[in-house]
């Protein structure tokens, strides 16, 4: 079970959104680079980064910050937000990014997802952001009528590294993850799945780890860390 502390970047700062709402944003004092260094110094080797500015502008924006984070020795980061082309992917991988997360572009253009996975074998993670079972795109502002459970059937034969399943209505709420829906989704594919959205406590993490769900590879945790609902040192021991 891999624990991914999360860093969302907007305007060069660490932020968290409430249910994906850009009007309900909390800013934090540490820079994304300092936060990444702290996570790494505590023992976390994997970090989840989202370029929120990139998601809104449809092109990576905070590239310089991401490049600097990649310089931290032995760190593995997965990065998403505004990745819309093979060139975007290549640049991030050249920085040293371990996995590049595709979301909107992959859902709207399945051929692009296939080409990305073919060219960058096992380097592509797919972000499935869900509201009431249906996929949302473009920084969660564009709601589709595509069921996540239908879309997942299309990705069986491409070289995805992992899927990030986010329940938007839990994200940033600290109400606990929608583990039932996530697990039901994960068993529809052989691709490892990450739980994202709503983690509120150490108990949430321990309960997921104890269950040892077959296809759940890890957990992404954001707001509960930043608001000190989770003791980061205790969390690292579980990792």
Residues with active-site annotation = 8, 129
Contact residues for 210 (Cβ-Cβ < 8 A; gap 6+): none
d(CA 15, CA 200): 17
- Inter-axis angle of helices 86-95 and 110-119, nearest 10: 40
Taking each continuous run of H as one helix and of E as one strand, the counts in the chain are 11, 12
Contact residues for 36 (Cβ-Cβ < 8 A; gap 6+): 7, 47, 49, 69, 72, 75, 77
Tokens for 24, please give them: 């309900």
């Amino acid at each position: 079970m891999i624990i991914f502390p999360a860093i969302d970047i907007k305007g060069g700062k660490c932020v968290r959104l409430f249910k994906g709402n850009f009007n309900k944003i909390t800013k934090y004092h540490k820079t994304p680079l300092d936060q990444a260094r702290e996570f790494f110094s505590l023992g976390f080797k994997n970090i989840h980064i989202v370029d929120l500015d990139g998601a809104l502008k449809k092109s990576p924006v905070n590239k310089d910050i991401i490049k600097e984070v990649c310089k931290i020795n032995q760190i593995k980061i997965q990065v998403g937000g505004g990745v819309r082309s093979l060139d975007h992917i290549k640049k991030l991988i050249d920085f040293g990014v371990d996995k590049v997360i595709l979301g909107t572009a992959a859902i709207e253009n399945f051929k692009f997802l296939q080409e990305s996975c073919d060219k960058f074998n096992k380097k592509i993670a797919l972000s499935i952001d869900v509201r009431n079972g249906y996929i949302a795109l473009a920084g969660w502002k564009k709601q589709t009528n595509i069921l996540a459970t239908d879309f997942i059937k299309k990705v069986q034969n491409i070289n995805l590294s992992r899927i990030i399943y986010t329940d938007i209505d839990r994200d940033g709420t600290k109400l606990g993850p929608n583990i039932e829906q996530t697990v039901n989704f994960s068993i529809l594919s052989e691709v490892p799945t990450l739980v994202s959205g709503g983690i509120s406590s150490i108990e949430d993490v321990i309960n997921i780890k104890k269950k040892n769900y077959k296809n759940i590879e890890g957990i992404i945790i954001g707001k509960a860390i930043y608001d000190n609902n989770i003791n980061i040192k205790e969390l690292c021991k579980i990792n």
